[in-house]
Amino acid sequence: MTKPIIFFDESHNTGAHLLDANQPIFTLASVDYNSDECSELLLLVLSHQASEGKFSSLQGSEAGRRKILDFIRSPIHSEKRVKTMIVHKHFNVVTQLVDIIEATLMRWDGIDIYKNSGNIVLANLHWYSAPHFFGEQKFNDFLTNFVEMVRNKSSESKRKFFDVANVLYHNCTDGKYKSMLAPYIYAERFIDDILNGIDNKYHIDPAIFSFFCHLTEWGKQLDEAPIVIYDESKPIKASQPIFMKMMDSSIPPKEVGYGQRKFMVPLNIKELHSGNSKQYAALQVADLMAGATRYYYSAFFRNTNDQFADKLKDAGIERFLFGAIAPQDLEHLTSDDLITSDNDINPADYMTKFCS
């Protein structure tokens, strides 16, 4: 039996520009098609002028869009063979803000913010409350300076971030929300220790967590550990040593995580390495799927009328989505889905025992 191979490609990773309003959604797609299946799928989009299937090249013309729709409708596709995940990049920065600063401070005080999904609730409260009290621009300045501080860790970037944090805190007229900003004032004296816990400058890149989610999703589905090939990605390549540690078969198998977000360690992956679309046709298939997913959900979150996005929906683009990092409505934030068990295990704590 042929060992399964999973191919990954991303769409709209804007690197340092996580808050680019023109590119709000990051998408990662993965597929497990063999070469014959890829050839059949790519016949739907290739031409004498285009020898490689790329969403960005096809979406600009009506003929190209028709080919993309034919590709999405292909009966070869199924949810077991294609998986996509989206990240609302602006909201993702808010989740990182909570994870890096609030969760760290609470952990030092013996509080696990991830129990009962406290991190998700806090991120959404900031997402909806901060623009209401300060306006979009001031909130964006706060997030922009946070990203700069995490990426550079320079004295100047730290000073700028806490200057903005202090302005927001001291000008907040709502007592309850002001108390929620207090960790971002208190953290200043500990910021060096907080940032020392961040492994590399790509830590907050959406590609990292998305890749991890895909790996765990495939791990649940496949009995045999697959080979994983990802299209050349700086964030994933920089974090490959971490993923390799999590694949270490010497780690005692254990289900870790919280609530509905549990997964098994070690990761059920045989090999992990990069490739390019000229080597592997399946990476072209993943590119097309990632691009189409990103296009559709960008229109969805902008709440704009877009005929091509509507046609992508009709073609079935939504059926491949297994996960998302995006703002959630109040109904979800008060649902039982967020409740966790006292027996749930913090993944970072468990892995630290074996990967330190």
- Mean pLDDT for 26-53 is 91
Q: What distance in Å separates the CA atoms of residue 24 and residue 81, rounded to the nearest whole number? A: 26
Q: Give the pLDDT confidence score for residue 229 in this predicted structure.
A: 97
Question: Does the pLDDT at position 1 exceed 60?
Answer: no
Give the residue-averaged pLDDT of 303-323.
97
Query: 290: Cβ–Cβ under 8 A, 6 or more apart, which residues?
Result: 9, 10, 11, 27, 28, 29, 55, 84
Side chain identity at residue 63, one-letter code: A
Identify the pLDDT of residue 354. 64
**What confidence tier does 203 reach under pLDDT thresholds 50, 70, 90?**
confident
Q: How far is CA 344 from the centre of its chain?
A: 23
What integer is the mean pLDDT of 84-104? 97
What single DSSP character describes residue 339?
-
Range of the domain at 286: 1-356
Cα separation, 66 vs 147, whole angstroms: 39
Residue 325 dihedral angles phi and psi, to the nearest 5°: -110, 105
Average model confidence (pLDDT) for the chain?
92
User: How many domains does the structure of the chain reveal?
Assistant: 1
Any idea which residue has 């706060």 for tokens? 142
% residues pLDDT > 90 (the chain): 74
CA distance 216 to 243: 11
Residue 356 has pLDDT above 60, yes or no: no
Give Cβ neighbours of residue 158 (< 8 Å, ≥ 6 apart).
149, 188, 191
**In this structure, are residues 312 and 295 in contact, taking their beta carbons and an 8 Å threshold?**
yes
Burial class (CB in 10 A: 0-12, 13-18, 19+), 294: buried
Q: In what order do the strands lie in the sheet with 321-325?
A: 271-275, 227-231, 5-11, 25-31, 82-88, 321-325
Nearest to 231 by CA among 297, 294, 281: 281
> Is pLDDT at 280 greater than 60 in this prediction?
yes
* pLDDT attached to residue 343: 86
Mean pLDDT calculated for residue range 99-128: 95
Residue type, 21: A
| Separation of alpha carbons 304 and 86, rounded Å | 18
Task: Output 336 or 25, whichever has higher pLDDT.
Answer: 25
> How far apart are alpha carbons 41 and 32 in whole angstroms?
13
Residue 16, pLDDT > 70, answer no
Dihedral in degrees, nearest 10, Cα atoms 300, 305, 308, 312: 40
Looking at per-residue pLDDT, the higher value among 65 and 345 belongs to: 65
Token duo for residue 137 = 């621009």
Confidence of residue 141 (pLDDT cuts 50, 70, 90): very high
User: Whole-angstrom Cα distance, residue 280 to residue 333?
Assistant: 41
Tens of pLDDT along 154-185? Answer: 999 999 999 999 999 999 999 999 999 999 99
Longest CA–CA span in the chain (Å) reads 65
Percent of residues, the chain, with pLDDT higher than 70: 96
* Euclidean distance between the first and the last CA atom of the chain, given in angstroms as a whole number: 36
Cα-based distances in Å from 351 to 80, 156, 183, 197, 253: 29, 33, 27, 14, 11
| Bond from prior residue into 24 cis (ω within 30 degrees of 0) | no
Q: Tokens standing for 143?
A: 């997030």
Cα(212)–Cα(103) distance, rounded to whole angstroms? 20
Residue 336: which pLDDT band, with cuts at 50, 70 and 90?
confident
The CA distance from 5 to 283, in Å, is 11
Our measurement of the distance from residue 326's CA atom to the centroid of its chain's CA atoms, rounded to an integer in Å, reads 9
pLDDT band at 15 (very low <50, low <70, confident <90, very high): low
Across 221-249, b (16+ Cβ under 10 Å) vs e yields: eeeebbebbbbebebbebbbebbebbbee
In a 3-state reduction of DSSP, which class is residue 5?
strand
